[in-house]
Amino acid sequence: RAAAPHPRVPRPPALGGPPPQTQRYLGYGAPQLSSFESRAQKSVSRLTITHRYDVVLGGVAAIVPADEIDSLARLPGVRAVLPDTLQQLRTEVSPQFIGASAAWEQLGGQASAGEGVIVGVIDSGIWPEHPSVADPDPLGKPFPAPPPAPDGDRACEFSGGENPGEPFSCNNKLIGAQRFMATYEAIIGLQPGEFTSARDDNGHGTHTATTAAGNRGVEASIFGVDRGTVSGVAPRAHLMVYKVCGLAGCFLSDSAAAVQEAIRDGVDVINFSIGGGTNPYADPVSLAFLDAYNAGVFVAAAAGNSGPAPDTVEHREPWVTTVAASTTDRQFVSDLTLVSGDGASLTLQGASVTPAITTPTPVVFATEIGGDELCTVDFPENAAAGKIVICQRGVSGRVAKGEKVFNAGGVGMILYNSPPLPQGVNTDNHFVPTVHLESDAAAQLLAFMEAHTGVLASFTPGAPRAGQGDVIASFSSRGGPGQTLGVNKPDVAAPGSQILAGHTPQHADVAGGPQGELFQAVAGTSMASPHVAGAAALLRDLYPDWTPGQIKSALMTTAQADELFLEDGRTPFTPFDAGSGRIDLRQALDPGITFSEDAARFLELADRLWDANLPSLYVPVMPGEVTVQRVAQNVTGSALDYRLRVIYPAGQPRDFQIRVPGRLTVPPGGTGQLTIAIDGRDVPLGEARHATLIFVERGGGLVRFPISFVRAQPAIEITKECAPASIALDQVTRCAITMVNTSFGEADVSLVDQLPRQLRLLPETVSVGQPFGNGVGFNGVLSGGMPPLVTVAAGSQNGYLSLSDLGAPPNVPLGDETLVNFATNRPFIYAGETYNTIGMTSNGYVVVGGGTAQDLSYINFDFPNPAPPNNVLAPFWTDLDGSKGGQYYAYTLCDIDCDDPGSLQWMVLEWRNAPNYSDAAQVNTFQIWIGLNGVEDITFAYGPELTAGNEGFLTVGAENALGSSGANFYSFDGSGPAVGTPPVANGPDVRVTGTPAEPAIPVTVSFQARGVLPGTYVNYAELTSPAFFGTGVARFQGEVRP
């Protein structure tokens, strides 16, 4: 268990600045850290420091016994102890597709574009002999020497350890490579085939590095087939590579150490195609990126591959440019032809870069030859000999399926996406000739196979063809209305589908395909992010004085948005899908104005990022009306005169208004202030809206500024009702404006309700508030409520009932650090709230209401705790690893027919033989029973196998959604003595009981009004308070009849 102590030290200056400033900063931090390390090693036994952060974070990474974390946290100068978690790794036409050719031309041609700029890639390393990082480049032009490192020499680590690979000396293209895997090796260790140097044994790092800054003029081939000439986006940039990832993933502490070294090495741009960043103010890598931003380093990061579901986006840091994946107008396509024994035929198109199968060959489903439909298990020997095997995508890796076909003698594979939803098709380096079918083509394949026998198939070699570009990939993670930070993500999109770039010819994992290939055409937001990193390098070359925020702004405000569509190829994107749009360097070279923010302000505005000077606006809680400011900086030598207008998307209700000045004039090199007012009072609660603010410059320049918000009640809710709503002239209606403080503290409020001209206030009827003119008001203090309470206690019986014994197969794919959300057949009640979704995790707990990546934690803690996860039911929260075994279930059990509306039903979630992370031989079986019968009914049940938790760490209990109330049946998290008694195998149940929250007492302003003028009216009561941003508005519509 590694943690990163975070002493309070100043933020670093840009290390490329004056050496005395740099030395003063480092001179301050070094003794502070040395003193802390000395105290820590004396106070904490068995402490192992893996990394020292004197440039980023201001602290150390250490492996600490869990029972001594509390002692570490109490040492003087420690600001926070952050958990270290394992994250996962997430060009022939694509540089031109984003307009890189225009940038190359402006920078003197492809032969010089990017020279002097250093791109740092934090990933799985590099294959240093790759022609894309050769010096001279393949066209014979040598690279100039790079700028000197601010902190001395740059390391070139292609030696050392038991398996470093061939020695290599860095050059003026690949100017350095370093390995940061101390935590990874201490916690997980290396597998056979993994290199102990910065050499890439995965292929992911070589691909991302060569996409961002690979050489021009590189001839690419896969399986001996010429695939054309490729180039990185910034072909003459220098490369620094930092290896932080092993086969199992990448630890936060190792990545943070690499960010620190990148700053020391003087990089200008970092690419980070690795997960994380969902909780950026408590993520050590995110905070290291903030230090990099402060030091002048631009960071591009992958949005994640969990789309198209909303609120799945990673890297929510406002100081990072988060990148979604889209298509280019080139696709590698294969034509699949099937012919049945009765003469019927079917031709389908799929994706492939593998060789053809020209001879019609028998086709079989995997289940016909002793396998499963997903091709996850080994086939009997030679079972697939001479056959093309049909495999369904899912659970195991795509390439691993083909390997199983190959090992069983198969000659080809048809890989298909399960209908009906599109998932995207991939062009992996497969072990056998393979064509990958999208779900619509798959439906035709399955129907054909069901209707016919004796089917033979052949398919053409994968070859480039024209395709629809600017389509958001289905896998690309999305933002959504659940984003709470006040900044929308992703920021932009870039090509991330079938990207042809480098590979390592010697990889340690089956996912890399056959050995010996130097190129691959793969997909993911990992592939999109380095396009943005390369674009940033070109902008840094052109504008060396720009801040990272200005580079981000230029890419966002000039993005292509008019013809960018969702995965169906027809529906226009929204900012939740791709931020501002797909980057377009043709326009980014001359953005006119930029919007940028200081690093210190990102900390100051953590709870209200809508006020940060970002090139977009997102308001997660729109109470009715809000107003924000932006400052535009003119980056040209001429005065700029913009006309401003707002574009509202077609098909979206026009129930809101955005007010901006009609004109903005910005002097040469100066700034101009802009006020943006949004009136969303007519938008129904819970709905999101989008718009785009367009700046049109007199000389033809265009700036796009996306705006999104979610209509919601603020912390002080306000509603208004009048009865009757429809009255005749001279009739009286009785109105009530109700205010409820939903927080748990007092709040000052000010209410104003100006009545419409159809009504006349009867001032003598006003209660609680004060009349004024033809309206009412209220000024005062509203009390808060009491949060829901949660308790746990032992039950009187053992309610464990093996789902396996009932004949139910495992149906939940839990691996290591996995969360799966389910909808329940009926709603259920917990702590007074009603839910119909639950998130089951691999670590022995569930998140009521469903969870996100932020809710995954292998480190248990005592309840209650305001840190995520919250709203937790934890029958056995410890570090479990489903990738090492176990069976996992989620079923509804009924006392009679489940279709009978009168039946009693329970949702039962079972972890059966779930292995502890540290020792897979230690297994645990337990369940959660959740009643779906209109009353709260939640119990934990324990089966015949149970341990004391992984290495003794275990929490059994529950807490509320706020993390303010909870109870522990048993808990030991290492921060203090154990609480309670642990459950035992086949022991009594644990019952969870929730007490509903006690809401604050509403305050109601009431009055009567008389109808004086016929007509329909809409009336708005407005509420302001320091407790929330903007103006809360309650809408009421009525009429006065003639």
Q: How far is CA 396 from CA 86, 373, 400, 508, 510, in A?
A: 20, 11, 7, 17, 11
Helix/strand/coil for 220: strand
Q: Is 777 left (phi over 0), alpha (psi -120 to 50) or beta?
A: beta
Give CA–CA dist 484/472, Å, rounded: 23
Give CA–CA dist 427/351, Å, rounded: 6
User: Are the beta carbons of 352 and 332 closer than 8 angstroms?
Assistant: yes
CA angle 265, 267, 271 (to 5 degrees): 125
Give CA–CA dist 617/22, Å, rounded: 35
Q: Would you tell me the crossing angle of helices 525-542 and 548-557 to the nearest 10 degrees?
A: 110
Give CA–CA dist 1020/504, Å, rounded: 64
1014 upstream amide cis, omega within 30 of 0: no
Read off the amino acid at residue 498: Q
Q: What is the 3-state secondary structure (H, E, C) of 555-591?
A: HHHCCECCCCECCCCCCECCHHHHCCCECCHHHHCCC
Please tell me what DSSP assigns to residue 521: E
526 a catalytic residue: yes
* Strand spans (E) along 768-858: 770-772, 775-782, 789-794, 819-830, 833-841, 846-848
Closest CA to 859 of 983, 951, 953: 953
Which token pair is 517? Answer: 């290939």
Q: Which of 67, 84, 123, 855 is catalytic?
A: 123
Residue 827, Cβ neighbours under 10 Å: how many?
12
Half-sphere exposure of 737 (CA within 13 A, CB side): 30
Question: What is the Cα Rg of the chain in Å?
Answer: 30
* Strand spans (E) along 327-398: 330-339, 345-351, 357-365, 388-392
Q: What is the 3-state secondary structure (H, E, C) of 91-120?
A: CCCHHHHCCHHHHHHHCCCCCCCCCCCEEE
* Strand spans (E) along 831-963: 833-841, 846-848, 872-877, 887-894, 905-915, 923-931, 938-942, 954-959
CA angle 1027, 629, 319 (to 5 degrees): 85
Closest CA to 692 of 739, 650, 730: 650
Please tell me what DSSP assigns to residue 364: E
Question: For the chain, how many residues are written?
Answer: 1042
Closest CA to 486 of 597, 354, 356, 397: 597
Burial of 1008 (0-12, 13-18, 19+ CB in 10 A): middle
The β-bridge partners of 630 are: 674
Half-sphere exposure of 1023 (CA within 13 A, CB side): 33
Q: Which of 6, 51, 130, 204 is catalytic?
A: 204
291 a catalytic residue: no
Helices (H) and strands (E) in the chain, counts: 15, 58
Q: Which residue has the tokens 């100066």?
A: 670
Give CA–CA dist 613/630, Å, rounded: 6
User: Are the beta carbons of 983 and 925 closer than 8 angstroms?
Assistant: no
Give CA–CA dist 597/608, Å, rounded: 14
Q: Which of 526, 964, 975, 1025 is catalytic?
A: 526
883 a catalytic residue: no
Q: Which residue has the tokens 């937790």?
A: 872
Give CA–CA dist 637/158, Å, rounded: 47
Catalytic residues: 123, 204, 526
